[in-house]
Amino acid sequence: MKIAIDGPAGAGKSTVARRVARELGILYIDTGAMYRALTWKALQLKINLSAPEELHQLAADTVIDIRDHGDGTRIYCDGREVTTEIRSPEVSRMVSVLAADDKVREVMVEKQRAIASRNDVVMDGRDITHCVLPDAEYKFYLTASLDVRTRRRGQELENQGYEVDLEQLKREIMERDQLDMSRKVGPLKITPDAVVIDTSDIDCESAVQYVLDIVREG
């Protein structure tokens, strides 16, 4: 079974996708975390993000691993756990630049399809419904108002100990959405066969139940 979920930052995708995967007993793959892990490594190595050759080499040379330990998913980059580091504001600021590169996307999409070919998955991201898994049995597009998405991301960051300026965060999310929607390869978009769920006025638990009802009805 393949369940594909796309949507902008802060729409509640990962919370919903993780819970749906757990309820169904299948694997959850957070593809945003894969782009983030690569960005984390690029920042560590001080790679020039506007030099395509360096980015392509980086994508080809990096082993990204997602493991489910039962207490949540952990992300590894070349064997080192980076689950927390990839959520930093620096990574969030740069990830859309790296994710706009077509060769980087090619490598990542290939890795994601390979995982999905071996497992039943709930996979979330920006291009899952129309590029990574166009044949997924179930497709969803999660969204919410910019204010709600900003508040959610702000809360996540505060929980991790960061000081948050909500106005700046809102601008950054808007810029990121703009980059994600306007890039040539794998842009964020709603496919006609996706069920759109607006989580502005409902909690994630209701969205989880809605998705599960659709999947269980078959």
Q: Minimum CB separation from ligand DC for residue 209, in Å?
A: 22
d(CA 193, CA 190): 8
Comparison of 32 and 154: residue with beta carbon closer to ligand DC: 32
Q: Minimum CB separation from ligand DC for residue 216, in Å?
A: 26
Give contact residues for ligand DC (rule: CB under 6 A): 9, 31-32, 35-36, 95-96, 99, 125-128, 176, 180
Q: Minimum CB separation from ligand DC for residue 177, in Å?
A: 8
Comparison of 125 and 154: residue with beta carbon closer to ligand DC: 125
Comparison of 95 and 116: residue with beta carbon closer to ligand DC: 95
Q: Minimum CB separation from ligand DC for residue 96, in Å?
A: 4
Comparison of 5 and 24: residue with beta carbon closer to ligand DC: 5
Q: Minimum CB separation from ligand DC for residue 164, in Å?
A: 16
Comparison of 139 and 176: residue with beta carbon closer to ligand DC: 176
Token pair for 103: 């060769």
